[in-house]
Amino acid sequence: MAIVVETDLRRHGARRAEGSVMSYFRHAAGICTIVSSFTFLFALVIGWI
């Protein structure tokens, strides 16, 4: 029983670290998407002018 709990805790710890890295990458990807979409719109506006 103790072994199962220990491996479960270890798994949760690894998952938590992995999740934080994934959330960081997701956050960075979101910022990149917003910036690129604004740049694209800006380029379209300049093209129309």
Q: Give the model confidence (pLDDT) of 3-24 as tens digits.
A: 555 555 555 555 566 677 788 8
- The amino acid at residue 9 is L
- The whole-chain average pLDDT of the chain stands at 76
Distance CA 42, CA 49 (A): 11
Tokens representing residue 48 in the block: 């129309």
Taking the CA atoms of the chain, what radius of gyration do you get in angstroms?
21
pTM over cut 0.75? no
32: DSSP letter: H
Dihedral (C-alpha) 14, 17, 19, 22: value to the nearest 10 degrees?
Answer: -120
